[in-house]
Structure 1
């Protein structure tokens, strides 16, 4: 009779919101390369099959019932949950005077409320119950500086709008709150705050890269590298922190 060992455990599972393009797609690819089974959530769904994403669900992250159902379904289907990365969000560039309440709340709902609902659906029902896990929330240096991009004193769209900057500041402090609340369960929560990144969201905005010490905008893969580290085993004692991926812009 041939001796057999214990059955291998399933690979770690990561949920990535906003996974169908830009930074979210780069994060999904990085985590897949690191050995995660990736479940992608996006409000539009993928434009084409993505080999980095094992399963994709169309989801509006600001809808509480949808969020809870999708997270539970992923755990049922894939058997576990180890990492949640919140990257979904909108980024309007309207001026302060020109921003309507609906536009302001649109950015709050997609960036801040969506992050809250995803974390609420994942942390205690699944991650904390397993005694392990990583939350990585993608904010922005706009949440620290009040918006990046060209000045818009004349009302010309350019600088990231007040709803976006406010929402990303909220994401940073929400993450710190979760880090204090859930840390004793073995779950960490951290933030990656990119500066200007070359994506469809920034297309058409004339960023002055002379203000960035490294002299250029970031690539999505460089943001994904920071997320990959925070999602991995080597960051186990990092909790409640913000990793700026901005070429030195904030501190320059």
Structure 2
């Protein structure tokens, strides 16, 4: 009960700080919107082998991958904000408060999750005039999957920031992790178009199952096995990531 209350208090504070600087949401959504408007229209002919005979069907395949990119890359870079707070002494001053150490981490991670979900909603709305259609229950389930994905990547990023408390060291590590994860998730193009060895390698990537699950949801198949596989895999990975980063956070903030 105390953990939930403390997390809510930290989350409220972090949400207020985000509300005061909404420019970060605008900056975060700008590049995905460019891809949505300037790159996605080129995909209709490319995706024809997968049954995308219209722009609307092409967007149903592409938009879920774009939202996953937002959470993967956006989430993995959130650790830089924690580094800034560590250097400014904000985290150190939190030691004198009775707030749970885990709540200090969870409140910040949930703030990042909400910010990424707001960006995901904006991108979805921008895609509607291009023909994207998805039923509300499936969309809400896709957002749940995205929220877990954002929470997981934020927790991983915080853990990296705590393990490597240096901007110069963290940036290449995050890039090295994010690029193969993103490519092996099939975020730009479905891996059904890839050779067999690449598809086999992708199945070991938990982000691949999240992307495939979201594509099934956007295509109107909420009962597909890949949806529930994706939810289960991401939920387990999120729990493990939060536990790992919380352990590092507690060891750092005593």
- The answer to whether the superposition gives a TM-score over 0.5 is no
Q: Is the helix fraction higher in 1 or 2?
A: 2
Query: Which structure's residues are more often strand, by fraction?
Result: 1
What is the TM-score of this pair, normalised by structure 2? Answer: 0.33
